Amino acid sequence: MRKLILILFMFTAFFGYSQTAKNTIQDEIDMEVWKPFKTAFETLDGEALNAIYADEVLRVTPQGIDTENTFKSGNLERFQKNKADGMSIALDFWFDSRHTNETVSYEVGFYRIGFSDKNGETNYSYGQFHIVLKKIDGTWKITQDWDTTSINGKTITAADLAKKDFLKF
């Protein structure tokens, strides 16, 4: 009986430590990647956004596969145009799943981007993302970025995003 209690105690302690370590790593990722990502989007800072990505990134969107980092120049151009047009952006998201170890994290979630024009009219875009992060030289970086606005041929809508609360930083 004592052995069983000891085994259960050890298992519980290890599981608790493992979850705590994973949560600590995910908190670190939130502060190094997701908070700056949201800020860069909302301040239309393409350079800050691009700095969150690794030097070599696999980016996949409905428009195709980018292995040459052309999306980075697109970020700069798009944000410059948005600023010139008097547009503002609000980004909200939540995670559906996160699988993390000490050096790699695979994160899946949903996003809502609100585009407000200078007249105050807002249009929303909704989607799902799959992101691979790697710790490179001590810093978490996005190495793979996939997103889409539909799943199984069905457009993602506000109702899909209402399933969970958005993250607050």
Q: Using an 8 Å Cβ cutoff, are 46 and 76 in contact? A: yes
- Domain holding 129, by residue range, is 2-161
- Residue 168 placed within a domain: no
Q: Using an 8 Å Cβ cutoff, are 103 and 135 in contact? A: yes
Task: Write out the DSSP string of 25-71.
Answer: HHHHHIIIIIHHHHHHHHTT-HHHHHHTEEEEEEEEETTEEESS-HH
- Residue 123 placed within a domain: yes
CA–CA separation, 112 and 158 (whole Å): 8
CA–CA separation, 6 and 20 (whole Å): 21
The reported pLDDT for the residue numbered 22 is 61
pLDDT-derived band of residue 4, with 50, 70 and 90 as boundaries? very low
- Residue 138 placed within a domain: yes
Q: What is the mean pLDDT of residues 23-30?
A: 93
Residue pLDDT, tens place only, 59-75:
999 889 999 999 999 99
Is residue 91 classed exposed, middle or buried when 0-12, 13-18 and 19+ CB atoms within 10 A define those classes? middle
CA–CA separation, 79 and 88 (whole Å): 10
State the CATH number of the domain containing residue 112.
3.10.450.50
Considering its fold, how many domains does the chain have in total?
A: 1
Q: Using an 8 Å Cβ cutoff, are 160 and 166 in contact? A: no
- Residue 167 placed within a domain: no
Residue pLDDT, tens place only, 88-143:
999 999 999 999 999 999 999 999 999 999 998 999 999 999 999 999 999 999 99
Greater confidence (163 vs 6) lies with 163
CA–CA separation, 45 and 62 (whole Å): 24
- Residue 166 placed within a domain: no
- Residue 31 placed within a domain: yes
Give me the chain's average pLDDT, please.
Answer: 89
